[in-house]
Structures are given as C-alpha cells and as structure tokens.
Structure 1
Amino acid sequence: MAMRKRTLKLLTFLVLFIFLTSFFLNYSHTGVPTTWFPKQMVLELSANFRKLIKFQPCTCASCLSQHGVSAWFDQRFNQTMQPLMNAHNALMPQDTYQWWLRLQRERKPRNLSDIVQELFSIVPGDVDPVLEKRVVGCRRCAVVGNSGNLRESFYGAEIDSHDFVLRMNKAPTLGFEADVGSKTTHHLVYPESFRELGENVSMVLVPFKSTDLQWVISATTTGTITHTYVPVPPKIKVKQDKILIYHPAFIKYVFDNWLQGHGRYPSTGILSVIFSMHVCDEVDLYGFGADSKGNWHHYWENNPSAGAFRKTGVHDADFESNVTAALAAINKIRIFKGR
C-alpha cells in the first residue's frame, strides 16, 4: 500500500511537471499562451510521458531493461515475453508446443487445452504475467543459487534486503540463514525437485512436460500422480493461490535467445535469472558457480568435491555461466561469488 501511494505521488508530480514545462515552453516560443484543449493536453502529456519512460524505465540508478547500453543485450532481451502462464496467454505457437513436448520426450501427452482449463480452475488463472511490475519504482531481485560458494559468505542479511528473493529446487534455508538468508518470495521447482515451502512463499512450477501441469492438479486435489520418471510427492501443502506457472514459451525464449540452442534445455538456474530480469529492475546473483577452490557442490552438502550438479547432461553449464558473466560485464546484473 505504501509503495502504491509513493508511486501515485510520483506520477502526479511527473504529470504536473510535464504540464508546467510544456506550458512555459509554449508561452516562451509564442509570446502569448496558446489555448489548450483537453485532447491537445492529453496528447502532449502522453507524448512527453512516453519519452520520459523510454529514457528512464525505473527509478533505480541503473535500470536493467534499459536499451542502448549493449547491442548484445538488446538482441536477446525481449521485454514483451511473459514469464508466467495464465488462462489468457496459455495458447502457444505450434512450433513452441512441439519443442516443449520433446524436452522430456513424452509419448502420449494429454491435450494441453484440457489440462490448462482444469489447471486454471484450481490455481489463479488471472495472475499478472510480470507479477504486477510497475512502470516506475525500483524492484530488486536476489536470485539465490545452490552453490557451495555460499558457505561462510555471510550474505544472509544482504539477500533478505531485496524485494524479491528467488530460490530453486531443494534449497534449504533452516540452519544456513547467516549465509543464504531466511526470506523467500518465489521458489522455482518442478515435480521431481519439489520441497515443502513456507506459508507465504509462491511456488513457481517450471513445467518441462505436460505431466508436470497435471501433477499440480493432482497434488492439490486427488493425489493420484505419484511417479513421473522418479517418485514425486502425491500431495503438497502449498496453497492453491500461491501456485504460479512458468510459461513453456518463456523456457523456449531462454533457450533460443539466451542459450542459442546450447544444451537440451535450460537449467532451473538460468531460467531463474532470466525470469528475474523480466520482473525486476535490479538483479543480484548469489550462489552461482564453483567455490573458491573450483569445486562444484551444493551449500548443504558435505562432499565439496562432488560436482554432480554441474554435469547434468541435459544442460550446458559452461555456456550458461558465460551468459551470466556477460550480463555482469555490461552491468545488467551483479554476481556475488562468496567471500
């Protein structure tokens, strides 16, 4: 509520400023004030406001979506892409749909229209696809990966200071608060990586197959789906109004635009990063990459030389790492690599 009041005050100030500026400029150029008609006023204000927004899309010192900073970024970042699926944007182009079906090679997928209709009779079907991102303001995202480089980093308080804190897959916080924080606003999972979440945490399901959408329906109602390619939780305690669906078309956008076809499909990590770039104005990454000794492991593991989660086979971890490094190099994101 406080944020909305501040936003309204800022918009009111901007409108008044533009009006007075336009008035005095008009007066100085003609010597006498020109008659202003309502339609003319609206057009003038609209044009000036669009110019203002074009050059300053947020109130941060540096706005992530700002174009003209890097040709490499501008070629890849498509602001019209919607990260979340809802009842109004669920329809996908045929090529996107066929690509998505091949990700985990489903043999007999159920009709998507039927699944979507049932799904959005259970979970919110009118969710804002960009999470109510405002035109003005400065929304800060912390994307918290699962790397062992978080150990003894003491990033916890810094992570929790962000507006949105995104985590993924198994990622525990209990017992690791000093290093990884305790706040979570959105947790990205798929059925095979699900863990129970805090009461006010939004679950963002990343569907790699149509069965994943069916699992959401089942896990919140009948509990009939207990196995995909591995056992999955038959029931979950997440409130239905806290369930969001990552759009399959957005997965393909990440694969095509950002990964340029590397790997079979994107990891949850890079999907979280690009997702946050579309809903926030500033993005900080924690817990990505190897630890200071070059080892790849999860921060909650006791086998620091494991490296299993880097060599997944279906993801190109090196290329994904290069993408985040390139984004950091042009100051679109910041990467915190541990202390």
Structure 2
Amino acid sequence: MCLLYFSYQTCPNSIRKKILQTDFAEIFLPSVPVLQWAKHYSEQEYERLSHYRGAHGWGTVSADVLNESLAILNTSANRLMFDNWEKRETKSQCIRCAVVGNAGILNGSKKGQEIDQNDYVFRTNGAVIKGFEQDVGSRTSFYTFSTNTFRNSLRSYARVGYKSAPQTAETRYIFLPDHDRDYILMRAASLHIPILKGKDRSSKPPSYFGSDVTVEKFKMYHPDFIRYIRNRFLHSRRLNGRLKYIYRPSTGAVMLLAALHTCDEVNAYGFMTPDFQKYSDHYYDKTPHRVRFFGNHDLRMELKLWQKLHKAELINLYLRT
C-alpha cells in the first residue's frame, strides 16, 4: 500500500480522517495503491492488468518491458511517496502539500512564498519557474508527467523558458505511464543507458533529469489508482461515447488526487476555477489565450470536483478575489 503510512495517525486534521465525514466517504478507498514498484509485477498481475489499456493498465506494454523496468524500482524511495519525511529535521504532525497547476489564475497572484512554505510542492508538465517565482514559488518536490506530456511541454513551452524537467536535490519524478515509452524512459534514465529502439531512441542516455540522477528519484503511479480515480472521482459521460478509449483524468488531476490520498493537508494553486475565462490558459503565456478543451480530458468535470473538494474542506483551493 502506498498511502502515507504513519502521519495520518498523529495528524489531528488529516484528510483521511476528515473525508470519512463527507459525501466522499462512499467513493474513497484508502487501500488502492497510489504507486507501483517491483513487487507489483507477477504473471497473474500482468494477466489481470493487460485487460486495461493506456494509463489504466498494462495492455499497451509487453511483459518483458514491464518486468525489466519495474524490477529497478525496488527501494523504499520508489514505493513511498514521502520517502524522506522521517529524515527531516523540521517536521510537524501533519504533512502539508502545495499542488501547483499551470493555470493563468496564478499570474500576478504573489503566492510563491506561501507555496514554498509547504512541506512538499507538487508540479506537472510545463512547470515554468524562472521569472515567475513570486507567483508560483521555486521549489519542486514532485514532478508528475508522462513521456508524451513531457515531450509536448518541451516543444510547446521552450519559448517561455521550459527546457528540462526541474532538477533540484529534493525533486522526485513521478511517471504517469500510459504506454511502454514511460517504462523504457524510466529504466534508461535510472541506468544511464541509451534508448536503442522505439519512438524515443537515442545514442546517449536521457539527460532530462540530470546526469547524476539515481533510481531513488523515480516513482510511477499505479494503473489501479488511475482507473480508480477515473471510475469514482471523475466518471465522465465520455466513457459512454466514442471518446471512451482515450478519456482519462488530466495529468494535473492525477497529481492533485494523488496528493489528496497521501498528504494530510492539500493546498491547491493554479487549477481551474469557475471564473477561468477571466485568465489566460497558463500563467506563463506571453500573450493571453483561452483555455483549450480536448476530448481526452473532461476539464469542466474536474473543475466541479475541485469545487466540491474545496467546499468539503478536503483541499484549500486558491480562488482569486
């Protein structure tokens, strides 16, 4: 089990205690693993999860690729979200997390210092920091991405300074795997070896995470967790139509809901709010443009979920006033 394993027992206001007193108690399953690691692979598990494709299972990954990749994730750092909590000199009873999306509402917010004062800071995809520290902070504890969304971010946001994943001593990298590319990249980056075949093949080892990155820096979301949050928290009508095979929660939604299941307190910044049309799509946009909607995510449903979680006092959602 990959949930926070000790803090909620001492934190008086832990989300896992509060949620049982809300309407979310009926859909909340604390036993679902948030992360996957070496122990999760077996022939029986491969057979079970091969029935689900994309981020929801292992149906798009060969048994060989999956086995040799997950086998690397065999340390406590890979299976525990907050693997360094007990080693911290200053820690409270409760683990406070800032979860930072990339929405335009953060531009001019001056929330950077507040964000950095949390115990951990989650970011995702095109998380541009340089030049925006006053609004979004400077720390990155966890960076959530898939190989596809990461490469898209490198292409799309290079003009505003996004040229690599955050690289700091505290940063951990959490893959949201939706095909074999994620497992292959994680293994190559961990072992510092080239990718010899496939769409991401290269003659040199991946350098996105720094030349001295170690396997302890990597984590991967479990497909059971992605399927669980899709079915119970974000069960969109798109699952009943032609988009059912490509629909999944957005990368930011996975990140926020993972924090909900592991942190004691969640402070969410840069997520969609009812007045989203007042702001540009991203806080780092050089010229304003509207939020774009795509068929593989249901952002309006996610917006409603954030409002419900905020009203239930399970997250503290930043609302511009």
Output the TM-score relative to the length of structure 1: 0.72
Listed as ranges, the matches of 1:70-219 within 5 Å are 70=22, 72-90=23-41, 92=45, 94=47, 96-101=49-54, 109-112=60-63, 114-126=64-76, 127-132=78-83, 137-194=93-150, 195-200=164-169, 201-219=171-189
| Residues 183 and 207 (structure 1), Cα distance of their counterparts in 2 relative to 1, 3 Å cut | same
Aligned match of 2:225: 250
Aligned match of 1:312: 294
1:282 aligns with 2:265: yes
| Residues 105 and 123 (structure 1), Cα distance of their counterparts in 2 relative to 1, 3 Å cut | closer
What displacement does 1:313 show? 1.6
Alpha-carbon contact 2:50-2:57 (below 8 Å) kept: no
1:299 aligns with 2:283: yes
What displacement does 1:104 show? 11
| Residues 298 and 104 (structure 1), Cα distance of their counterparts in 2 relative to 1, 3 Å cut | farther
Distance 1:318 1:234 in 2: 39
Distance 2:61 2:53 in 1: 13
Larger Rg: 1
Distance 1:142 1:174 in 2: 18
1:322 aligns with 2:304: yes
| Residues 303 and 224 (structure 1), Cα distance of their counterparts in 2 relative to 1, 3 Å cut | farther
Distance 2:136 2:52 in 1: 35
Distance 1:225 1:181 in 2: 38
Letter in 2 for 1:198: Q
What displacement does 1:103 show? 6.6
Aligned match of 1:38: none
Distance 2:48 2:206 in 1: 33
Distance 2:28 2:230 in 1: 12
Alpha-carbon contact 2:37-2:73 (below 8 Å) kept: no
Listed as ranges, the matches of 1:205-244 within 5 Å are 205-219=175-189, 220-225=192-197, 227=199, 235-238=206-209, 239-240=213-214, 241-244=216-219
Distance 2:124 2:81 in 1: 19
What displacement does 1:295 show? 3.7
CA RMSD in angstroms comes to: 3.1
What displacement does 1:211 show? 2.7
Distance 2:180 2:97 in 1: 29
TM-superposition CA deviations, 1:201-254 (whole Å, max 9, x none) = 1111110113321232234421335636xx9x9713421321111111111111
| Residues 226 and 335 (structure 1), Cα distance of their counterparts in 2 relative to 1, 3 Å cut | same
Letter in 2 for 1:304: P
Question: Aligned with 1:99: secondary structure?
Answer: coil
TM-superposition CA deviations, 1:146-173 (whole Å, max 9, x none) = 0010011000000001111000001111
| Residues 155 and 110 (structure 1), Cα distance of their counterparts in 2 relative to 1, 3 Å cut | closer
Question: Aligned with 1:166: secondary structure?
Answer: strand
Aligned match of 2:89: none
Aligned length: 276
Output the TM-score relative to the length of structure 2: 0.76
Question: Aligned with 1:142: secondary structure?
Answer: strand
Question: Aligned with 2:267: secondary structure?
Answer: strand
| Structure 1 unmatched runs, 5+ | 1-10, 12-52
Alpha-carbon contact 2:38-2:73 (below 8 Å) kept: no
Alpha-carbon contact 1:226-1:234 (below 8 Å) kept: no
Question: Aligned with 2:295: secondary structure?
Answer: coil
1:69 aligns with 2:21: yes
| Residues 159 and 262 (structure 1), Cα distance of their counterparts in 2 relative to 1, 3 Å cut | farther
Q: Which has the higher contact order (CA 8 A, sep 6+)?
A: 2
Alpha-carbon contact 2:34-2:225 (below 8 Å) kept: yes
| Residues 236 and 226 (structure 1), Cα distance of their counterparts in 2 relative to 1, 3 Å cut | farther
| Residues 335 and 208 (structure 1), Cα distance of their counterparts in 2 relative to 1, 3 Å cut | same
Alpha-carbon contact 1:145-1:167 (below 8 Å) kept: yes
Question: Aligned with 2:228: secondary structure?
Answer: helix
| Residues 323 and 187 (structure 1), Cα distance of their counterparts in 2 relative to 1, 3 Å cut | same
